[in-house]
């Protein structure tokens, strides 16, 4: 929580505050979205290793992986890749 909350708040801030919409902040916005998406791999791997046989964990893992992919795709779209 100590890492995800500030990163999420940063992503919201750079999405909503007009100053960050300028082209010079493009890599900052992209970096926040990609970083937030990739950080999701940490609890994803932990829960899969600890409780991988539980059906609910498998479903949650799929949804978490989708969320991470969407953040990374958003970050790459922001960079124009």
Q: What is the tens place of the pLDDT at every residue in 10-50?
A: 888 888 999 988 989 888 888 887 787 778 788 888 888 99
Q: Decide: helix, strand or coil at residue 60.
A: helix
Does the reported pTM lie above 0.75? Answer: no
What confidence tier does 54 reach under pLDDT thresholds 50, 70, 90? very high
- SS3 labels along 17-29: CHHHHCHHHHHHH
Q: Note the pLDDT of residue 37.
A: 74
| CA–CA dist 12, 17 (Å, integer) | 8
Nearest residue to 72 (alpha-carbon basis) of 35, 23, 45: 35
């Amino acid at each position: 929580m100590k890492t995800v909350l500030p990163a999420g708040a940063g992503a919201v801030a750079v999405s909503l505050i007009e100053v960050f919409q300028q082209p010079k902040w493009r890599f900052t916005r992209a970096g926040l979205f990609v970083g937030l998406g990739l950080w999701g791999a940490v609890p994803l791997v932990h829960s899969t290793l600890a409780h991988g046989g539980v059906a609910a964990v498998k479903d949650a893992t799929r949804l978490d992986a989708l969320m991470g992919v969407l953040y990374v795709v958003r970050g790459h779209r922001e960079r124009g890749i």
